Amino acid sequence: MTDKPKVAFYWCASCGGCEEAVVDLAEQVLDVVAAVDIVFWPVALDFKRKDVEAMADGSLAAAFINGAVRSTEQEEMVHLLRRKAQTVVAFGSCSHLGGIPGLANLFDRDGVLASAYLESPSTVNPDGVLPRPRSEEDGHRLTIPALFETVRSLDQVIDVDYYLPGCAPTPKLIAEAVMALLAGKLPPKGSVLAPDVALCDECPRKKTKPEQLALSAFKRPSEVILNEEECLLAQGVLCLGAATRSGCEAVCIKGNMPCTGCFGPTSRVKDQGAKALSGIASLVASNDAAEIERILGSIPDPVGTLYRYSLPSSLLRRRRPAAAAAAKG
């Protein structure tokens, strides 16, 4: 071991895309590896939890943690990494805001388990076996991590120093963050390491946005042939760029797909879904209640659309627990 700064990567409730994003650094990953020692990275390196436990508290320069927190194991691991690391970076949308797994907050734990293990069309489980946190088999006591009722973002569990937004964060932002960390040139604690303006600001279609947007129907990208030059909102496609932080270099827009909001809100906004709702609804081209209802009805799933990545970090954080139970029964 050298005296290079030590860093750890860890994943909680995530898809693996954030790990992929690190690999996507391509040749820049060599600069990172040259500058730091990666001492823990379950997806790529064979270090175990006991190796982390053996480290002195505060001996890691940084821990990059992706994924939302939804199990007891994840909760323990992030507390452990918090103790060992001087700086904790919430890496990616799930860690930053709750992410796609956070949409499980529209249900409760039993509903989630029933859907995954009993009701899904692709599931064959005639005995109705469900994961049990504790069980006995031939006299051996077995335990597995338990799921929580509510999915949480990382900062709802431990103190977080910085946030790298995105699903997944772009290689450019990752490289900039790592280099800033190594150079000790980081912004104030709690900052999101991306520009603090809306995506429209860097959108290549910005100049095609009409002065006055007026929407008489919301269309899904699969329902229309989209012009590749024109503002997507002007084409009636629900694009969340106006309610989303920039920094992604408009990769989805360049692929002719609308922004779905993965970078989260800017620092002036507390609740991304509510702010997106405010902007989008006010563009509806009618003053008549029935007509407004009809036009807005073409948005199939407002919560899943406007809070796609941020339900756990929203003001309400989840579906009302009693109501979640009633909907299941």
Partner 1 sequence: MPETTTEAGRDAAPAPFEPRIVAFFCNWCTYLAADLAGTTRLKYAPNIRVVRLMCSGRIDPQFVLDAFAQGADGVLIGGCHPGDCHYESGNYKTLRRFHLLRRMLRDLGIEEERFRLEWISASEAEPLRVAVNDMVEKVRALGPLNLAVPAEHAEEPEEVAVP
Angstrom distances, CA of residue 185 to CA of 85, 216, 245, 266: 18, 48, 22, 21
Q: How far apart are CA 95 and CA 89, in angstroms?
A: 9
**DSSP-assigned states of every residue in 295-329:** HHTTSS-HHHHHTTTTSTTSSS-SS-HHHHHHHH-
Task: Report how many helices (DSSP H) and strands (DSSP E) the chain contains, helices first.
Answer: 12, 9
Q: Does 131 bind partner 1 (CB under 8 A)?
A: no
Tell me which stretch binds partner 1 (CB under 8 A): 114-122, 192-200, 223-231, 321-329: 321-329
Judged by DSSP in three states, 187 sits in coil
CB of 322 to partner 1, least distance (A): 7
Tell me which stretch binds partner 1 (CB under 8 A): 164-172, 204-212, 253-261, 282-290: 282-290
**If we measure between CA atoms, which residue out of 55, 62, 49 comes closest to residue 88?**
62
Which of 141, 184, 212, 222 binds partner 1 (CB under 8 A)? It is 141
Is the bond into 175 cis (omega within 30 degrees of 0)?
no
Find where tokens 């946030």 sit.
Answer: 163
Which of 73, 176, 202, 249 binds partner 1 (CB under 8 A)? It is 73
Q: Does 185 bind partner 1 (CB under 8 A)?
A: no
Q: Does 317 bind partner 1 (CB under 8 A)?
A: yes
Which of 82, 96, 152, 245 binds partner 1 (CB under 8 A)? It is 152
**194-222 b/e (C-beta count within 10 Å ≥ 16 → b):** bbeebbbebbebeeebeeebebeebeeee
3 or 288, CB closer to partner 1? 288
Spatial contact of 265 and 242, defined as CB atoms under 8 Å apart = no
Phi, psi at residue 254, to the nearest 5°?
Answer: -65, -25
93 or 150, CB closer to partner 1? 150
103 or 174, CB closer to partner 1? 103
CB of 124 to partner 1, least distance (A): 27
Q: Please give the torsion angle defined by the CA atoms of residues 68, 70, 74 and 78, in that order, rounded to the nearest 10 degrees.
A: 50
Helix (H) / strand (E) element for 11: namely: strand 6-11
CB of 290 to partner 1, least distance (A): 10
Q: Is 18 left (phi over 0), alpha (psi -120 to 50) or beta?
A: alpha
Which of 28, 72, 115, 298 binds partner 1 (CB under 8 A)? It is 72
Judged by DSSP in three states, 85 sits in strand
Q: Does 292 bind partner 1 (CB under 8 A)?
A: yes
Considering only residues 261-280, where is the footprint of partner 1 by CB under 8 A? 269-271, 273-275, 277-278, 280
Considering only residues 74-113, where is the footprint of partner 1 by CB under 8 A? 75-76, 106
Q: Please give the torsion angle defined by the CA atoms of residues 111, 113, 116 and 117, in that order, rounded to the nearest 10 degrees.
A: -120
Q: How far apart are CA 36 and CA 115, in angstroms?
A: 43
Q: Does 257 bind partner 1 (CB under 8 A)?
A: no
Q: Does 320 bind partner 1 (CB under 8 A)?
A: yes
Which of 3, 26, 27, 50 binds partner 1 (CB under 8 A)? It is 50
Size of the site for partner 1 (CB under 8 A): 55
CB of 198 to partner 1, least distance (A): 16
Site string for partner 1, 295-314 (x = CB under 8 A): -x--x-xxx--x-------x
Per-residue DSSP letter, 232:
T
Binding-site ranges for partner 1 (CB under 8 A): 50, 72-73, 75-76, 106, 133-134, 141, 143-146, 148-150, 152, 156-157, 269-271, 273-275, 277-278, 280-284, 286-287, 289, 292-293, 296, 299, 301-303, 306, 314-324, 327
